[in-house]
Homo-oligomer: A and B are copies of this chain.
Amino acid sequence: MADDYYRVNLPESELPTQWYNVIPDLPAPPPPPLHPGTLEPAGPEDLAPLFPMALILQEVSSDSYIDIPGGVLDVLRLWRPSPLFRARRLEKALDTPAKIFYKYEGVSPAGSHKPNTAVPQAYYNSAEGVTKLTTETGAGQWGSALAFACSQYGMECEVWQVAASYRQKPYRKTMMELWGAKVHSSPSPVTEFGRELLAADPDHPGSLGIAISEAVSVAAADPAVRYSLGSVLNHVLMHQTVIGEEALRQLAMVDETPDLLVGCTGGGSNFGGLALPFLREKLAGNMAPTIRCVEPASCPTLTKGEYRYDFGDTACSTPLFKMHTLGHGFIPAAIHAGGLRYHGMSPLVSHIHDLGLTEAVAIPQSECFAAGLQFARTEGIVPAPEPTHALAATIREALACKESGESRTILTAMCGHGHLDLSAYESYISGAVSDFDLSDEAIAASLSSVPVLS
């Protein structure tokens, strides 16, 4: 490879053929989810009405590696391996001795890392005779990824999109429809729960919790239909490890080892996808990167939440997960990074953080948009609002290197493009993006409604 490379391409022959499961390598196993009725550890049979058995077995697997089926690889190969970039122009603009690398997932058809798990989820469901998947979506990244994946396997896809987003961002809905999905504004007249909410308020703005309830209820009522989740769970993070496995090989191609790894954390899947293979190397003593989670200041799960059992949804219908949470009733401010507006954190990422293997920092959105703008003007790519959080943390570190004169190697998770988020940039450019104060009292009040279990 020439010394002045910008992009490190991995040959298609180097596409990972196994997913990595970090759990067996951790110094302690993560606490189990609890059945919401019995409060006993939830077993595979509790999840069977919603998920296919192959995914349930992955969720609880103690194998370190799981083979990626050929029928999944054939779809991933449409855009994977994804490129690793050296951000030389950003380095120059910052006048930093740091080396900045970013792993870019915006090359997928849906424009983010989400298809990495949507594709295997559709594949395994299809293999078990499921003909339709339901899911919820907020801004639409996950819904469009699942719509794309279902189109690849000839499956139906039905998506409940939070009403406020359905109205404000019509183009994600169009993208889902383009791939053949049926999209409902949630609350919808399709479910009993939705009809009740609409009767009380025909203009109900909806929420992710409500959309989950609707998608779950339709899946549970029909044996040919299953539900699909885009983040949080172990198998989802495992599907995303192709990101980190590729990045390891790409950095090796240019003889680099990261001193710092940063990724934004919403439900944790993009962060986990990049970080977990590097954590394996760190635990094995092969490298010693600092691994830093970056979250929005208005939804500071890891930095200000508590590590305890809580529900995954607002309606308290999911199992209880031990995770960093702001309380299942917490409603994050309406920041533009919709993918980071979740009251909890992946139980696996939470556990790893509790073990002291990661750091966390919260950054207000105006600093993130400034980082996104600087990135676009130097590197060219327009980032989605979510990864601008990772970029802001990267720029902080690069400027610290400038101060100290130290040349650290930073690896940044760039999980998607912002082509469908340009209205957010328009708000920022016109000065209409503000930060939100979040008091410790508000967090304490939200947490007070979480049942005390451990």
**Number of chain copies forming the complex:** 2
Contact present for A377 and B151 (CB under 8 Å)? yes
Bound together, the chains give a CA A191 to CA B422 distance in angstroms of 29
> With A6-B77, A109-B381, A380-B78 in contact, do A422 and B171 touch (Cβ < 8 Å)?
yes
- Neighbouring B residues of A151 by C-beta, 8 Å: 376-378, 380
B179 touches A376 (CB 8 A): yes
Q: Verify A148–B78 contact, CB threshold 8 A.
A: no
Q: Name the residue of chain B whose CB is nearest to the CB of A110.
A: B380
Cα separation A106 to B79 with both chains bound (whole Å): 13
Q: If A152-B380, A379-B78, A380-B152 touch, does A425 touch B6 (CB 8 Å cutoff)?
A: no
Could you mark each residue 298-321 of chain A with 1 if its beta carbon is under 8 Å from any beta carbon of chain B, else 0? 000000000000000000000000
**Interface segment, one of A7-15, A125-133, A216-224:** A7-15
Which A residues from 146 to 192 make CB contacts under 8 A with B?
148, 151-152, 170-171, 174-175, 177-180
Given A6-B74, A382-B109, A423-B171; A377-B12 close (CB under 8 Å): no
A5 adjacent to chain B (CB < 8 Å): yes
Task: Indicate which residue in B13, B152, B420, B429 contacts A178 across the interface (CB closer than 8 Å).
Answer: B429
Whether B77 pairs with A7 at a CB distance below 8 angstroms is: yes
Residues in B whose Cβ lies below 8 Å from that of A9: 9, 11-12
Give complex CA distance A373, B174 in Å: 11
Chain B CB within 8 A of A2 CB: yes
Question: What B residues does A396 contact at CB under 8 A?
Answer: none
Contact (Cβ within 8 A) A376 B426: no
Q: Does A53 contact B (CB under 8 A)?
A: no
**A78 neighbours in B (Cβ, 8 Å):** 6-7, 85, 379-380
Closest to A175 in B: B422
- Distance, CA A171 to CA B426, complexed state (A): 8
**8 Å CB interface, A414-440 against B:** 417, 419-420, 422-423, 425-426, 429
Which A65-123 residues sit within 8 Å CB-CB of chain B? Answer: 74-75, 77-79, 85, 89, 107, 109, 111
Q: Which residues of B contact A177 (CB under 8 A)?
A: 425-426, 429
Q: Pick from B74, B152, B419: contact of A419, CB below 8 A.
A: B419
17 A-B pairs besides A2-B13, A419-B419 with CB distance below 8 A are A4-B74, A6-B78, A75-B380, A89-B152, A109-B382, A111-B419, A151-B376, A151-B377, A151-B378, A171-B422, A171-B426, A174-B422, A174-B423, A174-B429, A178-B429, A179-B376, A417-B419
The 6 closest A-B pairs by CB, nearest first: A109-B380, A419-B419, A171-B422, A174-B422, A174-B426, A151-B377
